[in-house]
Structure 1
Amino acid sequence: MPKTVTSHTLQLVTFSTSLSFTEVTSRLDAQIGKEKILATPVPTSGAASSIEAFEAHINSRVGPSGFLYFNEHNHGAWMKLFSNSRRAVLYVLGNPLVGQTFLQYDLRGALNIPPRVLVLEKADGTGTEVVYHLPSSLIALDDNEKLRAAAEGLDNKLEALVESITAT
């Protein structure tokens, strides 16, 4: 079976703040509507009767940032077993209505959608870092201008979210 390997440049973005881990995660939870989602999870498209019904359901659950909470992985909890006391939570967040704006051009972008954001307590305890892959560096794999423009729109939305939760 033939295999293709494509080189790709990935960009990692890190925001650093003096805010506590608890403050940053609380702000993030509020911005992505975590409580709304936990109360009523987002259905798959098969559960919606039409595009309009799906859009209405999504729009009723997005947080102020325009993103939805999907899930999280608390790496800090299990890393304690290995003598690491830093808190680290990987959030999976996104918005299918935004995702469709670029996935329509290249479904390979679905490998990295929804985006992930790592909230990491600084090793010296002086604050928090928020780390993510720049979406356009993951999604825009070819020279498709419409795809790049849509992916860069997600870059801007994600940056605005992270700026808002790390601002002092």
Structure 2
Amino acid sequence: MSKTVVEYTARRVTYETSLPIKDVLAKLDAEINKPGGGPSVFRLLREAKTRTDLEEGFNTLTAGGTFVYFAETAYHRFLNAYFGTTSTPQTYVYVFGNPLIAQSMLKHDLTGALHVPLSVLITEKADGTGTKIVYDDPTSTIPVPASQGGPVNADLQAATEQLSQKLEKLLQTVLG
């Protein structure tokens, strides 16, 4: 048995807006085709037999967008239940992505699967004045060297930068 530990630094990005969380969620749901995603994504991943099946399926599921909805967790619900309160600000973690984009990174390093599909936290500001969206920049979490001080794969870095740009564009559309 052997164990390798590689330390790296990630960048956490936070957007803040005065938009109410319901409006942010509605815009995000539309941009990532929430109604067409979820179970359909997992069915496609389970049943696709060819590259063509995957490409046609995900081009349909993204509905002309870049990403498709996978799942979400409503953290405020379980925290309120656990603590017997009703005061936890609405807080969701959305999981979304596009395997056609993910493959551009995973072909270089399968450990990138730790960070795709993407996870984004959407939370109501505690004072009720708007919403925050928080995520870890994929460019800082996916291209990690195999050993401490080792090189980062340049093709992986480039593919991850494209993913980060697509995520930024999505969030600016949602919040704009």
With the length of structure 2 as denominator, give the TM-score of the two structures: 0.89
Partner of 1:164: 173
Instruction: Classify 1:38/1:4 alpha carbon distance in 2 versus 1 (closer, same or farther; 3 Å).
Output: closer
| 2:27 is aligned with 1:24 | no
In the alignment of these two chains, the number of paired residues is 167
Q: Could you tell me whether the CA contact under 8 Å between 2:39 and 2:70 is conserved in 1?
A: no
Give a deviation string over 1:47-89, Cα, whole Å, max 9, x none: 1131111110110010443101000010011122323430000
Instruction: Classify 1:41/1:100 alpha carbon distance in 2 versus 1 (closer, same or farther; 3 Å).
Output: closer
* Structural mapping, 1:53-92, within 5 Å: 53-81=53-81, 82=83, 83=85, 84-92=87-95
Instruction: Determine the C-alpha separation between the residues in 1 that align with 2:71 and 2:134.
Output: 16
Instruction: Determine the C-alpha separation between the residues in 2 that align with 1:129 and 1:69.
Output: 19
Give a deviation string over 1:97-125, Cα, whole Å, max 9, x none: 00000110000111111110110100110
* Structural mapping, 1:14-163, within 5 Å: 14-38=14-38, 40-81=40-81, 82=83, 83=85, 84-142=87-145, 143-163=152-172
With the length of structure 1 as denominator, give the TM-score of the two structures: 0.93
**Partner SS for 1:99:** helix
Offset, 1:28: 0.5
**Partner SS for 1:43:** helix
Which aligned segments of 4 or more residues in structure 1 are displaced greater than 2 angstroms?
38-46, 81-85
- Percent of aligned pairs sharing the same letter: 38
Instruction: Determine the C-alpha separation between the residues in 2 that align with 1:15 and 1:145.
Output: 28
Q: Could you tell me whether the CA contact under 8 Å between 1:33 and 1:64 is conserved in 2?
A: no
Instruction: Determine the C-alpha separation between the residues in 2 that align with 1:104 and 1:69.
Output: 22
Q: Superposition RMSD on alpha carbons, in Å?
A: 1.5
Gap runs ≥5 in structure 1: none
**Partner SS for 1:40:** helix
Instruction: Classify 1:46/1:29 alpha carbon distance in 2 versus 1 (closer, same or farther; 3 Å).
Output: closer
Q: Could you tell me whether the CA contact under 8 Å between 1:109 and 1:140 is conserved in 2?
A: yes
Q: Which amino acid aligns with 1:124?
A: D
Q: Could you tell me whether the CA contact under 8 Å between 1:65 and 1:161 is conserved in 2?
A: no
